[in-house]
Amino acid sequence: MKVSALIGSIALGLLPGTFAAPPNGFDTDDLALEVARRALPNAPDGYTPANVSCPASRPTVRSAAHLSPNETSWLDTRRSKSLAAMKDFFGHVKVGDFDVTSYLNQHSSNSSSLPNIAIAVSGGGYRALMNGAGAIKAFDSRTENATTSGHLGGLLQSSTYVAGLSGGSWLVGSIYINNFTTIDALQRGSTWQFSNSILEGPPTGGIQILKSASYYTDLAEAVNGKQDAGFDTSITDIWGRALGYQMFNASNGGLAYTWSSIAETSAFNDGNYPMPLVVADGRNPGQLIVGSNSTVYEFNPWEFGTFDPTIYGFVPLEYLGSRFVGGSLPSNETCVRGFDNAGFIIGTSSTLFNQFLLQLNTTSLPSFVKNIFAHILYKLDKSDDDIAAYDPNPFYHYNNHSSPYAQQTELDVVDGGEDLQNIPLHPLIQPERAVDVIFAIDSSADTTYSWPNGTSLVATYERSLNSSGIGNGTVFPSIPDQNTFVNLGLNTRPTFFGCDSSNLTGPAPIVVYIPNYPYSAYSNVSTFTLSYKDSQRDDIILNGYEVATMANSTRDGNWTACVGCAILSRSFERTKTTLPDICTQCFTNYCWNGTVNSTAPGAFEPVTLLADSDSGASAIVPTVLSTAAAVSVALLTMI
Ligand SMILES: *[C@@H]1O[C@H](CO)[C@@H](O)[C@H](O)[C@H]1NC(C)=O
Ligand SMILES: *[C@@H]1O[C@H](CO)[C@@H](O)[C@H](O)[C@H]1NC(C)=O
Ligand SMILES: *[C@@H]1O[C@H](CO)[C@@H](O)[C@H](O)[C@H]1NC(C)=O
Ligand SMILES: *[C@@H]1O[C@H](CO)[C@@H](O)[C@H](O)[C@H]1NC(C)=O
Ligand SMILES: *[C@@H]1O[C@H](CO)[C@@H](O)[C@H](O)[C@H]1NC(C)=O
Ligand SMILES: *[C@@H]1O[C@H](CO)[C@@H](O)[C@H](O)[C@H]1NC(C)=O
Ligand SMILES: *[C@@H]1O[C@H](CO)[C@@H](O)[C@H](O)[C@H]1NC(C)=O
Ligand SMILES: *[C@@H]1O[C@H](CO)[C@@H](O)[C@H](O)[C@H]1NC(C)=O
Ligand SMILES: *[C@@H]1O[C@H](CO)[C@@H](O)[C@H](O)[C@H]1NC(C)=O
Ligand SMILES: *[C@@H]1O[C@H](CO)[C@@H](O)[C@H](O)[C@H]1NC(C)=O
Ligand SMILES: *[C@@H]1O[C@H](CO)[C@@H](O)[C@H](O)[C@H]1NC(C)=O
Ligand SMILES: CC(=O)N[C@H]1CO[C@H](CO)[C@@H](O)[C@@H]1O
């Protein structure tokens, strides 16, 4: 008897009638909507990757020297949409007396002179998801009142890229797999039910009719299916399936939804919203610790791969799971689809949270649930290994002379924050993408009380200094040490880095650093907290809104103008436009000017900036994961 069947019968025996396996990967409700515009349940066999016939031109790995033809042509389509959105944005965001609309009209025929905007949402579990959601909500023109004076609605619609990592990738996945939905809808709907811990599964009733036992049976069924089809599995497969239940509004946790299906939807193809990016790290062959020299991967709607010199290649995401050799698919090999399950992608970006599953024993779940889980773990190839197995390695024998992965039949991919670059800036500082400004939302837990202190920017800066090595020519603004961040308060309000482009060694964006900070709520909840009441979730999201808008500009009446200046700055340089006076003032106020104060600061314990709040405690010290692997715990306390 297969273990999957065994588990199924355990659950059936104990809970008659509660477990109904889907007849196959498809969900008829979702299929009916296939013509509608949202990410699609288009995997051939649910969670299990399956052989399909190859397209006429067989998929290949391509060099990272340029953007993909898909991205290049999508950018063309996107530009007219983002330009229109920018005009709307500057309809309510005034930059002193400067007429931004005329400026944009004047240069609209040469799109490369116009601003190119990106948003990056850091990791940090649910804290990062919620604080990031507040910022995205603030940037979204669809949010009620967000396009009034003092707010920033429309920045999202004006952006070209939105990147997420780990907890930030759960946010990006929640938005994109659910039809570019709004944060408001996620708060009001049945998807973001964080009061139900991911360990227990979704509430019963509604779209996901499950109980904890059948939840785990469902997770096991899917993962066993993949394994029985000959694919390596790890605990990340279980974790990714669980995330699907909590982030995707589809029955069976979006079993057949692929990440590549985003590129098949008409709304995305029409350029109606920004391009989503998810970041993960590579673990080098034979290594356990992921250091600053590790390879950084991106998942975009078309491809998986990296600009790093280690691999310097991209594979079509849809055909991940096919046996590429030396960058092409041998004639005796078939195409495989369905490997890029959307939950698996965001699970890959957040593998450190695999540790939580291993803590299931410490929960109050009934013991038969724990037994089911023990069986799942037993069956996995890599039960306690914190990696996602990308086997077959799509870059097998690719760039044989330079790639440390070329001889590996399996690629080990891990949490995007493990190299300490906890903000997904890597895809956004690639010269080919020519980004002008990155809004970097940092929800990292760097300090004792889980506030950010610039560690992530420091890591990206240091990596860029190795420009002939792993940095591969990427340029990043100078970033001071973390003590300076705390001493100068650079982590208490937005700070701009790289304002003066003449002080850079090459083209690089301005980084608008937006650190998590308490306005109306203590949003420094522990990375280890896995369940939140709706009211606390909403308080933290509102706090994130206030972080991004500086309390709707009540903290600085010129904040939105200064955001406008950051957006326009590089464009002004290209068009040789004199900086408006208000921008000079803004840059004096917000740009880090090179001052350093590296003396060791005292404890960083900010209190809510707005009126007293009862919505949280300021000091939350991690204790839960005492048995987890030491390295993971150390990292989890930081991200
Ligand atoms: C996706 O969103 C668009 C725009 O709001 C809407 O028109 C469309 O019906 C939605 N599709 C689905 C499947 O919900
Ligand atoms: C990406 O581009 C390739 C080659 O131009 C094309 O065959 C493929 O259909 C495109 N993919 C998508 C999802 O549009
Ligand atoms: C939007 O603004 C109006 C008018 O000030 C106010 O009544 C309403 O409560 C606001 N809505 C939200 C969601 O803040
Ligand atoms: C294809 O050929 C290679 C080289 O002979 C072999 O290693 C591989 O197993 C073959 N694949 C299949 C699916 O038969
Ligand atoms: C959980 O508990 C079971 C039964 O006590 C034990 O066999 C198993 O090893 C434990 N699992 C973990 C991950 O500690
Ligand atoms: C900054 O965060 C790092 C961990 O990310 C920590 O080791 C360091 O002590 C912190 N420094 C300050 C000044 O907060
Ligand atoms: C990263 O690689 C550079 C050489 O390319 C080396 O100098 C540096 O020590 C490495 N850093 C780590 C943390 O391995
Ligand atoms: C900021 O605006 C949001 C949404 O309109 C509102 O709910 C919140 O109360 C406002 N906060 C402050 C400090 O004005
Ligand atoms: C905004 O900036 C202008 C120009 O520097 C200045 O005159 C004005 O006082 C500022 N307004 C606020 C509310 O700080
Ligand atoms: C640079 O910024 C620091 C505070 O961060 C300030 O004290 C100093 O006066 C500034 N220097 C210049 C030249 O503006
Ligand atoms: C300008 O560049 C130098 C050299 O890289 C650096 O030390 C300094 O901090 C930079 N200044 C600013 C304001 O970024
Ligand atoms: C700018 C730069 O250094 N680019 C290099 C990145 O890595 C690839 C692969 O090693 C090189 O071919 C590029 O020249």
State pLDDT tens for residues 339-349.
999 999 999 99
Helix (H) or strand (E) holding 513: strand 510-515
415 DSSP 8-state letter: -
The answer on pLDDT for 380 being more than 70 is: yes
Strand partners, 258: 341
Query: How much distance in Å is there from the Cα of 309 to the middle of ligand 12?
Result: 6
Q: Which residues line ligand 5 (CB under 6 A)?
A: 358, 361, 374
Determine which residue's CA is closest to atom 12 belonging to ligand 8: 551
Q: Ligand 12: does its nearest atom lie under 6 Å from the Cβ of 472?
A: yes
Nearest CA among 118, 215, 225 for reference residue 161: 118
Query: How much distance in Å is there from the Cα of 558 to the middle of ligand 9?
Result: 6
Q: Ligand 1: does its nearest atom lie under 6 Å from the Cβ of 181?
A: no
Between CA 28 and CA 422 the distance in angstroms is 38
Determine which residue's CA is closest to atom 9 belonging to ligand 5: 374
* pTM check: above 0.75: yes
Query: How much distance in Å is there from the Cα of 330 to the middle of ligand 4?
Result: 8
Residues 213-256 have pLDDT tens digits of 788 888 989 999 999 999 999 999 999 999 999 999 998 899 99
What pLDDT does 216 receive? Answer: 87
Query: How much distance in Å is there from the Cα of 496 to the middle of ligand 10?
Result: 14
- The sign one gets for the Cα dihedral 232, 235, 240, 242 is positive
Determine which residue's CA is closest to atom 10 belonging to ligand 3: 145
User: DSSP of 53-86, one letter per residue?
Assistant: PPPSS--B-EETTS--HHHHHHHHHHHHHHHHHH
Query: How much distance in Å is there from the Cα of 588 to the middle of ligand 10?
Result: 8
The answer on pLDDT for 9 being more than 80 is: no
Residues 77-120 have pLDDT tens digits of 999 999 999 999 999 999 999 999 999 999 999 999 999 999 99
Determine which residue's CA is closest to atom 6 belonging to ligand 1: 37
3-state secondary structure of 580: coil
Query: How much distance in Å is there from the Cα of 374 to the middle of ligand 5?
Result: 7
Between CA 445 and CA 519 the distance in angstroms is 17
What pLDDT does 6 receive? Answer: 28
Query: How much distance in Å is there from the Cα of 275 to the middle of ligand 12?
Result: 25
3-state secondary structure of 285: coil
Q: Ligand 11: does its nearest atom lie under 6 Å from the Cβ of 478?
A: yes
Q: Residue 538 has which token pair? A: 């909403």
Between CA 45 and CA 363 the distance in angstroms is 33
The answer on pLDDT for 623 being more than 60 is: no
The answer on pLDDT for 594 being more than 60 is: yes
Q: Ligand 10: does its nearest atom lie under 6 Å from the Cβ of 593?
A: yes
Q: Residue 102 has which token pair? A: 């005329």
Q: Residue 344 has which token pair? A: 């698996």
- The sign one gets for the Cα dihedral 543, 424, 156, 263 is negative
- The pLDDT of 429-439, averaged and rounded, is 98
Residues 6+ positions from 372 with CB-CB distance below 8 Å: 7, 10, 11, 213, 216, 217, 220
Nearest CA among 459, 529, 497 for reference residue 129: 529
Determine which residue's CA is closest to atom 13 belonging to ligand 9: 557
What pLDDT does 628 receive? Answer: 35
Looking at every residue in the chain, the average pLDDT score rounds to 89
Closest atom of ligand 11 to CA, residue 504: 2
The answer on pLDDT for 1 being more than 50 is: no
Helix (H) or strand (E) holding 581: helix 581-590
Q: Ligand 9: does its nearest atom lie under 6 Å from the Cβ of 585?
A: yes
Mutate to test the pocket of ligand 10, among 595, 596, 597, 598 (most ligand atoms within 8 A of CB): 595
Neighbours of 22 (CB within 10 A): 16
* Lowest mean pLDDT across 5-19, 81-95, 497-511: 5-19
Residues 6+ positions from 291 with CB-CB distance below 8 Å: 419
The answer on pLDDT for 383 being more than 50 is: yes
Query: How much distance in Å is there from the Cα of 444 to the middle of ligand 6?
Result: 11
Q: Which residues line ligand 8 (CB under 6 A)?
A: 145, 542, 545-546, 551-552, 554, 610
Identity (one letter) of the amino acid at 170?
W
Q: Ligand 6: does its nearest atom lie under 6 Å from the Cβ of 474?
A: no
Q: Ligand 10: does its nearest atom lie under 6 Å from the Cβ of 584?
A: no
Strand partners, 511: 438, 497
Determine which residue's CA is closest to atom 2 belonging to ligand 5: 361
Helix (H) or strand (E) holding 120: strand 117-121
Residues 520-539 have pLDDT tens digits of 999 999 998 889 999 999 99
Residues 6+ positions from 607 with CB-CB distance below 8 Å: 518, 618
The answer on pLDDT for 593 being more than 90 is: yes
- The pLDDT of 291-301, averaged and rounded, is 94
Q: Which domains does the chain have, with CATH numbers?
A: 1-7+79-191+422-639 (no CATH), 197-265+276-421 (3.40.1090.10)
Neighbours of 598 (CB within 10 A): 11
- The pLDDT of 130-151, averaged and rounded, is 98
Closest atom of ligand 4 to CA, residue 334: 13
- The pLDDT of 42-57, averaged and rounded, is 96
User: DSSP of 178-226, one letter per residue?
Assistant: TTS--HHHHHHSSS--TTS-TTT-SPSSTT----HHHHHHHHHHHHHHH
Q: Determine if residue 454 is left, alpha or beta; phi over 0 gives left, psi from -120 to 50 gives alpha, anything else beta.
A: left
Length of the chain: 639
Neighbours of 506 (CB within 10 A): 12
Q: Which residues line ligand 2 (CB under 6 A)?
A: 69-70, 263-264, 302
- The pLDDT of 355-365, averaged and rounded, is 78
Q: First vs last Cα of the chain: how many Å apart?
A: 42
